[in-house]
Structure 1
Amino acid sequence: MDILIEFLNNLSDPDWIVAHGGLYLLLFIIFAETGILIGFFLPGDPILFIAGMIVSNMTLASAEQTSTLLYWILFISIAAILGNFVGYWCGKLFGKRIMRMKDTWFFKKDYILKAQEFYGKRGGGAIVLARFLPIVRTFAPIVAGIVGMSFRKFVTYNILGAFIWVGSLMTLGYLLGEMPWVQRNLEVVILCIVFAATAPVLLKTFAGKRKDSTHISDANT
């Protein structure tokens, strides 16, 4: 556990990332977070921001920096796309077995049924939105496979979502990465990114619970 905590702490240090694999380490992290269940704890959003910072601090000419940024965005987006494909096919292959599982504190079939309804309403847009939600982006492609989302639709929105997610956060890190204040307060910036990503989900969750409790109290009266 201590090794895992130390590893996660090191992921907020751009110099440590560069010294321990650089782009290759980033590719692995993004692939694992978006395609492997045990990767749900990995910090995808901060990692992309830091990736942009790393490129912005490379000693390259302006044109070379821009081409390097685009190169990194391309390959990290491909890692995110492949990760979601792995998740989708795992859901497709093991979906029936999963639906036969008994409900536990971690897994409830009702979650899958609600997800199916969510995908029915939002369609492929749910895959794009999930990219910006920690933990959700790990489970979204698996659920898409379980509920039988059209593979053609999944491919389109998987690719679109990956490039929007990776491109926006890496570009933000690239633009802000050379600012001394950002470099001195990187942990604060990372916390703000995580909060910005999770706040909409938390607000919607609490609003939904409040709405449900209101309906229950009205029914009781």
Structure 2
Amino acid sequence: MSNFEWTQLVNPEFYITFTIGGIQLGLYIVLFIVFAETGLFAGFFLPGDSLLFLAGIYSRDLVQNILFIESDFINLVLLSTLVALSGVFGNMVGYWFGAQSGYYLYNREDTLLFKKKYLLQSKEFFEKHGGKAIIYARFLPIVRTFAPIVAGIGSMDKKKFMFFNILSSFLWSFILIFSGHYLYGLFKDQWGIDLKEHIEKIVIGIILVSTIPVFLKLIKQKVVAK
């Protein structure tokens, strides 16, 4: 921690490998971040997609601190399930917060951690796609933070919300974590490339891929407005 720099806060690897007194806290931090991304509406700046992809690469290191399991597959299933449950609970808190504070949020002034435009964009996205927006939003930065809040504001049926909430959380966590783990093995076995040595490029690539749809939507809105 003596060499800590603020830029590390946007680097997913920093959270995954975080240790205090020799104790690896990566798993707990990953679970908290996944929860905070939707459970705390200020979590939109957290590195969700790239964090889960890297969690797949470091899956054994993360899980063995709470339970040693020989099987990589079981490790991945356990890790993905824990992450998915954190996502489910995060969305539930976001839904509850939206149901309780919708009027307040729409009339709140912008701050460093809250931008009303993100809320409005998520509302439009939700109105276009309905319940499926909960699934789509899981794979879109910023939108996934506000989608459950918008669902709560719009009084979406709770059973319907929970169905899409659980489905989207498990799809998101299993796809990204399993992809990270098996692509790491593929690159290392087939081409001798250790993805752990290219973490920065991976993070940048995932951020670009996951944010392109958001930017295209913004550009389209500006063109239509003109």
TM-score of Structure 1 vs Structure 2, range by shorter chain? 0.7 to 0.9
Matched, 1:11 2:15: no
Question: In the superposition, relative to structure 1, how do residues 4 and 183 fare at CA in structure 2: closer, same or farther (>3 Å)?
Answer: closer
Give 2:41's aligned residue: 37
Matched, 1:147 2:148: no
Matched, 1:107 2:116: yes
Give 1:99-138 correspondences, 5 Å limit.
99=106, 101=107, 106-107=115-116, 112=120, 116=123, 118-138=125-145
Asked whether the 8 Å contact 2:88–2:166 carries over to 1, the reply is yes
Give 1:209's aligned residue: 222
The total of aligned residue pairs comes to 209
Deviation at 1:103, TM superposition (A): 6.3
Q: Distance in 2 between matches of 1:10 and 1:103?
A: 29
Give 1:50's aligned residue: 54
TM-score by length of 2: 0.80
Structure with higher Rg: it is 1
Q: Distance in 2 between matches of 1:154 and 1:4?
A: 39
Following superposition, which runs of at least 4 residues in structure 1 exceed 6 angstroms of deviation?
60-63
Give 2:92's aligned residue: 85
Gaps of 5+ in 1: 214-221
When structure 1 is superposed on structure 2, of 3-12 and 171-180 the one drifting more is 3-12
Matched, 1:98 2:105: yes
Gaps of 5+ in 2: none
Question: In the superposition, relative to structure 1, how do residues 196 and 115 fare at CA in structure 2: closer, same or farther (>3 Å)?
Answer: closer
Question: In the superposition, relative to structure 1, how do residues 208 and 116 fare at CA in structure 2: closer, same or farther (>3 Å)?
Answer: closer
Question: In the superposition, relative to structure 1, how do residues 57 and 28 fare at CA in structure 2: closer, same or farther (>3 Å)?
Answer: closer
Q: Distance in 1 between matches of 2:7 and 2:24?
A: 14
TM-score by length of 1: 0.81
Asked whether the 8 Å contact 1:56–1:174 carries over to 2, the reply is no
Asked whether the 8 Å contact 1:36–1:83 carries over to 2, the reply is yes
**1:141-196 deviation digits (Å, cap 9, x = unpaired):** 11111121111111111111111111111011111224334222111011111111
Indicate which of 58, 63, 73 corresponds to 1:66.
Answer: 73
Q: Distance in 1 between matches of 2:44 and 2:56?
A: 22
CA RMSD across the alignment: 3.1
Q: Distance in 1 between matches of 2:116 and 2:10?
A: 29
The percent of aligned pairs where both chains have the same amino acid is 37
